[in-house]
Amino acid sequence: MEINLSQCFIAVDDHDKALGFYRDALGLEVLKDVGFGGMRWVTVGSPAQPGVEIVLEPPLADPNASAADREAMAELLAKGLLRGVIFSTDDVDATFEHIRATGAEVLQEPVDQPYGVRDCAFRDPAGNMIRFSRPRGATAN
């Protein structure tokens, strides 16, 4: 049996601002942009991993969710308490400099972690923490 990741979801409160980060700063391609029931989903992906899609979705993409639940999710997102994703990169320092130059909010400059990776972190426009890592001692492709 083979199991592969096909999609993951990141909550965003403004798709156009999110595209400024995921498409323009990170260089991901927009694969789909779909609206339904007053909501919007934008799917982005890396040309290097054509089978993996990241769906940028509303904070609570459930049309049956209560107003209180929607408000609670929006508050968690605004506080940066929802998780984003971790990308791997062949050069953490170069990736960091490239993304920082776009004006993205820096959470952590590149550092060697005790658990065996060199990584850095940014906050996307919605407040999600997005990390970029590489195993220490790995050689470039």
Mean residue pLDDT of the chain comes to: 91
108 vs 39: which has the higher pLDDT: 108
Residues above pLDDT 90, as percent of the chain: 72
The set of residues, in sequence order, having a beta carbon less than 8 Å from that of 94 and lying 6+ positions away, is none
* Per-residue pLDDT at 141 exceeds 60: no
DSSP 66: -
What is the domain partition of the chain in residue ranges?
Answer: 7-135
CATH class of 7-135: alpha beta
| Residue 17 binned pLDDT confidence (cut-offs 50, 70, 90) | very high
Task: Return the ∠ at Cα 130 (arms to 8 and 63), rounded to 5°.
Answer: 45
20 vs 61: which has the higher pLDDT: 20
* Per-residue pLDDT at 139 exceeds 80: no
* Per-residue pLDDT at 122 exceeds 70: yes
Helix runs in 25-117, H state only: 67-78, 92-101
Q: What are the Cα distances from residue 38, in Å, to 56, 58, 66?
A: 15, 10, 15
Q: For 14-52, where are the E strands, in sequence order?
A: 29-36, 39-45
* Per-residue pLDDT at 140 exceeds 60: no
Whole-prediction pTM value?
0.87
* Per-residue pLDDT at 6 exceeds 70: yes
| Residue 78 binned pLDDT confidence (cut-offs 50, 70, 90) | confident
